[in-house]
Structure 1
Amino acid sequence: MGVEEIVLLNADDEAVGTAPKGASHHRDTPYHLAFSCYVVDTEGRVLITQRALDKRTFPGVWTGSCCGHPGPGENLRTAVLRRLRDELGMDEASLASVSFTSVLPGFQYRAVAEDGTVENERCPVLRATVPANGPVRPNPEEVERAEWWTWERCLELVDRPQASPWYRLQLAELAPLGAPLDWPDAGERDLPPAVRW
């Protein structure tokens, strides 16, 4: 497997180059393209994960279902499906049934970890709706724990120190939209020019 590359962005969210993912996350991380995904089952439960304890950035924090970086030339849906498979171990049958919704296409944030590592991302947020009781087999290199939570419990996590900074920021925008199955489709208009839907 080759070195994973991230897409670097300018102030207009246009792609201006690429860089190796691992070497790019430090105290002066360049602005780049990412995504967050909330997996919601047909009963309205949300898959919440704890990042692996030995991850280089933000180890052990609790956050949404999965996140990642679209590779150069990779569209958003393909990137999310790749991470649902590689990070959460969703099988091909489950992936074939996923229904995507663009929820917060304009989301971006900057956060600093305890060790000084910076995240600096344009990070569209998607909902992936899946059938209830589908198999999830988290990759232990990525995920310490994965649990199906009610929306009420998701909202309570915001006030706890274990929550990732991007989770808190995203929930501030998601909470007014109502329950996860009610989140409206925000469409493609506010997606960054650097990525296709």
Structure 2
Amino acid sequence: MNREQALVELVDADGLAIGSTTVADAHTAPGLLHRAFSVLLVDPRGRLLLQQRAAVKTRFPLRWANACCGHPAPDTDVATEASRRLAEELGLTGIPLKPVGVYVYRALDQVTQRVEHEYDHVLIGTVDGEAASPDADEVAALRWAHPDEVRRALAAEPESYAPWLSGVLAAWDAATAGPDG
């Protein structure tokens, strides 16, 4: 099936399911709020795996983003669907993913005129030597970067990064800050 015709779960501002539509319809302006996920992968040195989105992506092509993103099908488990996409996009399997928060955002891609309006579940996994084998239809390039380096780059050249990446990092930061912040 064409990924643009797959179903996504529409949600309200509280993340409660209110229906479904296709990926294509959810991302057509003005954009419909729907469930999504973003996976951060961290290595033992504390670096994040970043992927440069493939040129054929319909939203924010060739921008750097977190390791993997996607949309769970309606009535499915977010972590299970995120693991499935991790295997499809990067060839990585068996990596336990931990939910760390939710980030809601809306962003218009000026190049493709598609809209991201997502209730984004942020998950984190740890990799230790697993070698990724990216799908060229999904990923143009991969690189490891320290989180502080990513934050500096996001501030200096935001147009090179997916618009959700800063919010995904903030959700991770909030979850790992501890009770005293």
Report the TM-score, using the length of structure 2 for normalisation. Answer: 0.86
Q: Which residue of structure 1 aligns with residue 60 of structure 2?
A: 58
What residue ranges of structure 2 are gaps of 5+ in the alignment? none
Counterpart of 2:165 in structure 1: which amino acid? Y
CA RMSD of aligned residues (A): 2.2
Q: How far does the alpha carbon of each residue in 1:71-94 deviate from its partner, in whole angstroms, 9 at most, with x for none?
A: 12210111110110011121xxxx
Secondary structure at the counterpart of residue 158 of structure 1:
helix
Identity %: 32
- Structure 1 unaligned blocks of 5 or more: 178-182, 187-197
Written as runs of structure 1 = structure 2, the 5 A alignment for 1:36-75 is 36-75=38-77
Structure 2 match to 1:34: 36
Of 121, 144, 150, the residue aligned with 1:148 is: 144
- 1:5–1:185 Cα change, 3 Å: farther
Q: Which residue of 2 aligns with 1:167?
A: 165
Q: Is the 8 A contact 1:158 1:171 kept in 2?
A: no
Distance change >3 Å, CA 16–CA 175, structure 1 → 2: closer
Is 1:158 matched up with 2:160?
Answer: no
Distance (Å, rounded) in 2 between the aligned partners of 1:33 and 1:83: 15
Distance 1:47 1:18, change over 3 A: same
Give the conservation status (yes or no) of the 8 Å contact 2:26–2:33: no
Aligned match of 1:15 in 14, 17, 21?
17
Matched, 1:121 2:118: yes
Distance 1:128 1:169 in 2: 17
> Contact 1:101–1:185 (CA<8 Å) still a contact in 2?
no
Shift in CA distance, 174/122, structure 1 to aligned 2, threshold 3 Å = same
The alpha carbon displacement at 1:149 in A equals 1.7
Offset, 1:123: 0.3
Q: What is the alpha-carbon distance in structure 1 between the residues aligned to residue 36 and residue 106 of structure 2?
A: 12
Compute the displacement of 1:170 (Å): 2.9
Give the Å deviation of 1:106: 2.9
Equivalent residue of 2:97, what SS? strand
With a CA cutoff of 8 Å and minimum separation of 6, indicate the structure with the bigger relative contact order: 1
Give the count of matched residue pairs.
Answer: 174
Q: Which amino acid is 1:43 matched to? A: R
Three-state SS of the structure 2 residue aligned to 1:126 is strand
> 1:173: Cα distance to partner?
4.7
- The answer to whether the 8 A contact 1:47-1:146 is kept is yes
